[in-house]
Structure 1
Amino acid sequence: MTRSCAQWFSTPVTAAMLRGWIELENTQYGIVPHRLPAWARRQWADPQLLMAEAQPSGVRICFRTEATAIELEALPTRRVYTGLPPRPDGTWDLVIDGRLVRQGTIPGGRVVRIDPSTWSTGTAPWAEVEEGRPGLLRFADLPAGSKEVEIWLPHDEAAELFTLRGNAALDACGHSGRTTWLHHGSSISHGSNARHPTGIWPAVVARLAGVDLLNLGFGGSALLDPFVARTIRDQQADFISLKLGINVVNMDLMRLRGFGPAVHGFLDTIRDGHKTTPLMVLSPILCPIHEDTPGPSLPVFSDGQLKFQAAGMDEDAAKGKLTLRIIRDVLKDIVTQRRISDPNIHYLDGRVLYGGADHARLPLPDGLHPDGATHALMGERFAAAAFGEGRPFA
């Protein structure tokens, strides 16, 4: 982009300009949005969780301006996995007055090289970091006149935010006046395999329902951690949804005896801060490899592609190991029991969002995660099931 001689306005990215975050980390030159507070990150410094919560899924910069040209200086953090093709650069979505109008990437940045064979265990050395330089995201030839601008950060790439510039003044939007929907879930809620940040299914819901999204979907880390429940308890939210179960199977983390009480404890903690807030528990979407076969899920690398397979044995379910069918039954029973004294808790079978007929038409590319078209479908269906007329979040 070639600048004209017109005056340019510059401002650091501030808390007042950001939405969808839990805590901001101040660095030497800018800020890093986090989706878990520092005290929670310290309680269990799992590398997968720390990577996931620092990826700003659902976080966006919001300001009003008459600028027709905008640039953002930021330092992205890219991931490179040993043995796999390079990942595409993270996509930044430009939304003007609620409509996606442009997309861009930031060149350069920091690189984290990850060895998948040691990553999941946290065994050192699981990653090497190569420092890099900040880059510029540029958008030119924008519509004239006053407008609300949102820049949605990449859902799957961490970023340190420095300076925002434009050829007109840039004013923080302030409070939107919309209700807040807090959603917690796994990598699917985080946005795995979605093409861009406003294409993840929770962002699709937020647009259709006209709500502000606080997305606490953490890839590989929806594990009923008590510190996540306390984080949710302490946030302002008008609606809360929890998509639970798939990561517990992925990691073969619990048996049936532990899972039920852990779900109750997670809900009890949230209810300590949200006694009557409408709360929906979602069970897992259809995932054929784990419907009747327990975990763990193991990655399989073939022809440069990553896929997952179930490593458990079907007969182990009789010994208390968890499958998705068992988890759905447990979650439904728990919500049914709690509704006796808590009429504001609700259950939704995840197969309403993605079921057998959908799998025949839109199979999960890697065996676990939906593609971009399926994210859109799931968003449309959840918006109708939760926020539609007469529905729990209406």
Structure 2
Amino acid sequence: MSTAHPLITTPVTADLLRGHLDVERTPHGLLPHRLPARARRQVPDAQLAMAEAQPSGVRLALRTRATVVELETLPTKRLYRGLPAPADGVYDLLVDGRPTAHTTVAGGNTRVIDMAAGTAELREGPTGTARFTGLPARDKTVEIWLPHTEITELVALHTDAPVTPAPDSGLRRWLHHGSSISHGSNADRPTATWPALAAAAGGVDLVNLGFGGGALLDPFTARAMRDTPADLISVKIGINIVNADVMRLRAFGPAVHGFLDTVRDGHPTTPLLVVSPVLCPVQEDTPGPLAPDFSSGTLKFRATGDPAERAAGRLTLTVIRTELARIVAERAAEDEQLHYLDGLALYGPADHAELPLPDEVHPDPAAHRRIAENFARLAFAPGGAFARPAG
């Protein structure tokens, strides 16, 4: 390594982070979490435990004159048995809010997942460094967005000038909860998940509680949202409930009410937007559970339920959209800050014809951009649930 000045080492502390709800000290450094410790103790499965520790929307925010910034990390990457290794996760660097550079970190731990057997094996590896050079030699705010689907333990910062935590942005804080689509599955970088893109377009500060496979109306998630300061709140409900086949219509309505009641306990007048599922043809009228399908040589998904069982209360995306619209309409009569957004307005049949889902469930990077554009147009524009108040 060749630099003009010796690098200063700064341990990563919680005050350098944004977009997280909690941190954990590990033998290597600091691990950001997107659920608080109390909620994590109630997490019932390894999938959600992995997803909440993947730092979608989490970033370091620094004030510095440094021209060289290195972030030493220990990533944990996922490898699905029988499939090619995915690309290393991307670290996005922004200077004064503008995308400036990106890089990756090789090595780290690998979690080998066997979807057919339902097992996982952890293979340990070394730390690595995300290195950025050539930054402007002036006071500036530097953000490093962490890979949205790689658990990332933060070891230390190495810079050629001191760093301090960036001051509060003063932006409205948007707290969002959703499924793997909100988490960022198939997005190619952390600033290109649809919530991150929508937040940038809306000029808000994102806290993303999108959890791959984990948007199941869990009470501990509702309590985490209740207790998290926010100026704007959205909950995207439906796809995981159908593809995990976790409940029937009789249980779904009360569960939605209970989730919203809990959020409202902490945020009685905050704009609250309920978003129904985007289009997913394999689940529109076919109940779950969803199953992996490797017959094409790549990972795709198929619904395994029987459409005839909808009459007995089995849930599909079509059923859920109807029920959510009804629930929100009834509650909005007494809650003027409660709003509904049909997910088909974010990604519907015309969008699917142009930008099909590669694995039948998750949008590709272009579809993430489409969803973000539509959300910003519908939610943040004048007349939208998240429009800035007049005056």
Q: Which residue of 1 aligns with 2:89?
A: 90
For residues 206-254 of structure 1, give each alpha carbon's deviation from its aligned partner in whole angstroms, at most 9, with x where no partner exists: 1111111000000001000011101100000000000000000001111
Q: Which residue of 2 aligns with 1:188?
A: 181
CA contact (8 A) 1:9 1:170 kept: no
The count of residues paired between Structure 1 and Structure 2 equals 387
> Residues 254 and 45 from structure 1, CA distance in 2 versus in 1: closer, same or farther, beyond 3 angstroms?
closer
Question: Are 1:19 and 2:12 counterparts?
Answer: no
Give the conservation status (yes or no) of the 8 Å contact 2:28–2:74: no
SS at match of 2:9: strand
Task: Spell out the pairing of 1:152-167 with structure 2 (5 A cutoff).
Answer: 152-167=145-160
8 Å CA contact retained: 1:18, 1:60: yes
Residues 188 and 369, structure 1, Cα contact 8 Å, conserved in 2: yes
| DSSP-derived class of the 1:43 partner | coil
Deviation, 1:29, is 3.5
CA distance in 2, matches of 1:264, 1:45: 22
**1:45-68 CA distance string (max 9 Å, x none):** 311100100000000001011111
Separation (CA, whole Å) in 2 of partners of 1:213 and 1:372: 19
Q: Which residue of the partner structure matches residue 116 of structure 2? A: 117
Residues of 2 paired with 1:67 and 1:219: CA distance? 36
Residues 320-366 of structure 1, C-alpha deviations (whole Å, 9 max, x = no match): 10111110000000000001111110000001110010111000010
Give CA deviations for 1:114-142 in whole Å, capped at 9, x if unaligned: 111233xxxxxx21111111111111122
- Letter of the structure 2 residue corresponding to residue 17 of structure 1: L
For residues 5-58 of structure 1, give each alpha carbon's deviation from its aligned partner in whole angstroms, at most 9, with x where no partner exists. Answer: 424222111111100001100113410000111221111331110010000000
TM-score, normalised to structure 2, is 0.97
The aligned runs of 1:120-131 (5 Å cut-off) are 126-131=119-124
Q: Does 1:299 align with 2:292?
A: yes
Preserved CA contact (<8 Å) 1:7 1:168:
no
Q: Distance in 2 between matches of 1:29 and 1:340?
A: 51
Residue 384, structure 1, aligned to residue 355, structure 2: no
1:138 and 2:131 equivalent?
A: yes
Tell me whether 76-85 or 216-225 shows the greater mean CA deviation. 76-85
Q: How far apart, CA to CA, are the structure 1 residues paired with 2:157 and 2:57?
A: 19
CA contact (8 A) 2:276 2:320 kept: yes
Q: Is the deviation greater in 110-119 or in 363-372?
A: 110-119
Structure 1 equivalent of residue 330 of structure 2: 337
The answer for the alignment partner of 1:58 in structure 2 is 57
Deviations 1:130-178 (CA, angstroms, capped at 9, x unpaired): 1111111111122232221100000000010011111112121032111
Contact 1:22–1:34 (Cα < 8 Å) also in 2 = yes
Q: Give me the whole-angstrom Cα distance separating, in 1, the residues matched to 2:37 and 2:3.
A: 43
Q: Shift of residue 385 of structure 1?
A: 0.9
Which deviates more, 330-339 or 174-183? 174-183
Identity of aligned residues (%): 58
Partner of 1:35: 34
**What corresponds to 2:206 in structure 1?**
213
Q: Within 5 Å, which residues of 2 pair with 1:216-227?
A: 216-227=209-220
Q: How many Å separate the matches in 2 of 1:235 and 1:50?
A: 19
**What is the distance in 2 between the residues matched to 1:108 and 1:310?**
35
Q: Provide the secondary structure at the position in 2 that maps to 1:114.
A: strand
How far does residue 71 in structure 1 lie from its aligned partner after superposition?
0.5
| Aligned-partner Cα distance in 2 for 1:266–1:386 | 21
Structure 2 gap ranges (5+): none
Q: Distance in 2 between matches of 1:189 and 1:35?
A: 13
More divergent stretch after superposition (144-153 vs 191-200): 144-153
Which of residues 278, 282, 304 in structure 2 aligns to 1:311?
A: 304
Aligned partners of 2:83 and 2:209: how far apart in 1? 27
- In the other structure, the counterpart of 1:241 is 234
Q: Deviations over 1:255-298 (max 9, x none)?
A: 11110110000001111111111000000001111111111111
CA distance in 1, matches of 2:364, 2:269: 35
**1:118 aligned counterpart, secondary structure:** coil
Secondary structure of the residue aligned to 1:364 is: coil
Q: Which range moved further: 229-238 or 92-101?
A: 92-101
- More displaced stretch, 222-231 vs 296-305: 296-305
| In 1: Cα distance, 2:178 partner to 2:28 partner | 32
1: CA distance between counterparts of 2:107 and 2:306? Answer: 45
- The 5-angstrom pairing of residues 208-287 of structure 1 reads 208-287=201-280
2:330 is matched by which residue type in structure 1? Q
For residue 317 of structure 2, the aligned residue among 314, 324, 331 is 324
The answer to whether the aligner puts 1:360 opposite 2:358 as a matched pair is no
Residue equivalent to 1:123: none
Kept in 2, the 8 Å contact 1:83–1:304? The answer is no
Distance 1:296 1:45 in 2: 18
C-alpha distance in structure 1 between counterparts of 2:79 and 2:360, whole Å: 21
- What is the rounded CA distance, in whole Å, between the counterparts of 1:348 and 1:295 in structure 2? 23
Structure 1 unaligned regions, length at least 5: 120-125
Letter in 2 for 1:315: A
Hey, what's the Cα distance between the residues in 1 that align with 2:117 and 2:376? Answer: 38
Q: Secondary structure at the match of 1:142?
A: coil
- Matches of 1:386 and 1:303, distance apart in 2: 38
Q: For the residues of structure 1 that align with 2:75 and 2:360, how far apart are their CA atoms?
A: 28
